[in-house]
Amino acid sequence: MRSLFVKIFLSYWAAQALVVVAAILVTLATRPPRQISSVEAQQATFLSEAVKAYQGGGTEVLHHYLRSIHESQHVRLFLFDGKGQDLTGHKPPEWIERVERGETRTADSFWGRMGAERFLRQAMTTEDGQRYILVIELPPEEHPFLGPHGVPGLGIAIAVLSSGLVCFFLARYLTRPVVRLRDATQKLAAGDLSARAGVPKSRRHDEIAELVRDFDTMAERLENLVNAQNRLLHDISHELRSPLARLSVALGLLQQRSGPEAQGALDRIDLEANRLNELIGRLLTIARLEQGGNGAQKVLVELEDLVRQVASDADFEAQSRNCRVAVSIGGQCSIVGVPDLLHSAIENVVRNAVRYTREGTNVEIRLEKAWGTDGSVAALRVSDFGPGVPDESLDKLFVPFYRIDDARGRQTGGVGLGLAITERAVRLHGGSVKAYNRTGGGLTVEIRLPLAAADTAAAREPQTEVPSDHA
**pLDDT confidence of residue 466:** 39
Domains of the chain, first to last: 34-140 (3.30.450.170), 191-295 (1.10.287.130), 296-460 (3.30.565.10)
**pLDDT confidence of residue 1:** 43
**Tens digits of pLDDT across the chain (471 residues):** 456 667 677 777 777 777 777 766 666 555 555 556 677 778 888 888 888 888 888 888 888 888 888 888 778 888 888 888 888 877 888 878 888 888 787 776 665 655 567 778 888 888 888 888 888 887 765 444 444 444 555 566 766 777 777 777 777 777 788 888 888 888 888 777 888 887 655 566 777 778 888 888 898 898 888 778 777 766 776 777 777 777 788 878 777 777 777 777 777 787 777 777 777 676 666 666 666 555 567 889 999 999 999 999 999 888 888 899 999 998 888 888 888 888 888 998 999 899 889 998 989 999 998 877 667 889 999 999 988 888 888 888 888 777 776 544 544 545 567 888 888 888 888 888 999 998 878 899 999 999 887 554 444 444 444 344 433
Angstrom distance (rounded) from CA 35 to CA 38: 5
Angstrom distance (rounded) from CA 409 to CA 419: 13
- Beta strands 324-329 and 362-372: pairing type? parallel
The torsion of the CA quartet 397, 377, 343, 380, rounded to 10 degrees, works out to 60
Angstrom distance (rounded) from CA 143 to CA 85: 35
Asked if 197 and 181 touch (Cβ cutoff 8 Å), the reply is yes
Q: What strands, in cross-sheet order, belong to the sheet with 119-125?
A: 76-81, 131-137, 119-125
